[in-house]
Chains A and B, each alone.
Chain A
Amino acid sequence: MKNKKLIPYMIIIKLPEIIGYLNYYYLTLQRVLESEQIKDEATKELIKEDIRFLKAEILSLKLFYKLTANIYKTNNTF
């Protein structure tokens, strides 16, 4: 059985790692788009959609992290 008191701390430890990975995907796709390596509009459209998703998810998770960190009085670094 999970100790519920541990869950917020798991979030606080795990979230920065997840946000870091999302940032990696975000920056990689952004770089691909800016490099003009992709010539066709269909792939560009998919990349733009994925970037929109990643950006939204990064922002939401950062907010969630701040909220959790404030509730549990932990130093937040974002």
Chain B
Amino acid sequence: MFQTIIDKINIKKGFPFKKNKIYVIYYEYPFTYINTADKLLSTWFDFGSFVDEWTIEYKNQIGTVKAILLYYGLPLRKKRSSDVLITNLEDLENSSDKLMYYKVGMYHILKDFIYLDDIQFNKILKLLGLTNLIKDIKGKPIKVKELEGKDLRVDFSTKSEILDFLKLIREIRDIWRIKI
């Protein structure tokens, strides 16, 4: 019922986001931006499994988009899964220490980059929004209904700790690729 109403609103008001496209939502309190997902982001590792349907508001228009939500760079599904360990909004909200959930979630995601052959670390940083200030991301400002009224802020400086971890992952990967 709710979905049908949203679909009707999408058609009537010319909601600019397409149903058959995958978007990426960058969330960093208090900003949220949306952009088309780079092909690399949706094919790397299992980022495809992070695609979820989110209800967004853009210029007073409400609609749904298929998107990867990046919470300070950490991909989040909407709900927890019973069979796979996957970072998600439900667990983040229920965590006793959101900052720790964010950090260990990022380690969990980034560690797998050791095993990928064709990985470009500079591109990862850019696509995950880890080096950019969120305002520099060329996207459209939106509101995500599922995140409204929730206090999900983490200290911005934590990003630099994440960058240190990624640097370490990069070094390990380089070591494993050296032929002695």
Contact at A53–B171, with CB atoms within 8 Å?
Answer: no
Give 1 or 0 for each of B77-96: 1 = CB within 8 Å of chain A CB: 00010000101000100111
Q: How many residues of A contact B (CB 8 A)?
A: 29
* B162 nearest CB across to chain A (Å): 12
Contact at A64–B175, with CB atoms within 8 Å?
Answer: yes
Find the residue from A32, A40, A43 having the highest chain B CB count within 10 A. A43
Is there a chain A Cβ closer than 8 Å to B45's Cβ?
no
A residues in contact with B168, CB < 8 Å: 18, 21-22, 25
| CA–CA, A49 and B85, complex, Å | 9
B residues in contact with A50, CB < 8 Å: 104, 107-108, 111
Query: With A18-B172, A25-B107, A50-B108 in contact, is A42–B180 under 8 Å at CB?
Result: no
Contact at B100–A32, with CB atoms within 8 Å?
Answer: yes
Is there a chain A Cβ closer than 8 Å to B97's Cβ?
yes
B residues in contact with A25, CB < 8 Å: 107, 165, 168
Is there a chain A Cβ closer than 8 Å to B105's Cβ?
yes
* B38 nearest CB across to chain A (Å): 26
Contact at A38–B171, with CB atoms within 8 Å?
Answer: no
Contact at A14–B172, with CB atoms within 8 Å?
Answer: no
| Residue ID in chain B nearest A21 by CB atoms | B168
Is there a chain A Cβ closer than 8 Å to B58's Cβ?
no
A residues in contact with B104, CB < 8 Å: 29, 43, 46-47, 50
Contact at A18–B100, with CB atoms within 8 Å?
Answer: no
A residues in contact with B180, CB < 8 Å: 7-8, 11, 68, 71
Query: Closest 9 CB pairs between A and B?
Result: A42-B91, A39-B96, A46-B104, A50-B107, A43-B101, A43-B95, A40-B95, A53-B111, A40-B96
**Chain A residues packing against B (C-beta within 8 Å):** 7-8, 10-11, 14-15, 18, 21-22, 25, 29, 32, 37-40, 42-43, 45-47, 49-50, 53, 57, 61, 64, 68, 71
**Extra 12 A-B pairs, beta carbons < 8 Å, given A22-B172, A40-B95, A47-B100:** A10-B178, A11-B178, A14-B175, A21-B168, A22-B168, A25-B168, A42-B91, A46-B85, A46-B104, A47-B104, A61-B175, A68-B180
A-B contact pairs, 23 of them (CB 8 A): A7-B180, A11-B175, A14-B171, A18-B168, A18-B172, A22-B168, A25-B165, A25-B168, A29-B104, A37-B96, A37-B100, A38-B97, A39-B96, A40-B91, A40-B96, A42-B91, A43-B91, A43-B104, A46-B101, A50-B104, A50-B107, A50-B111, A53-B111
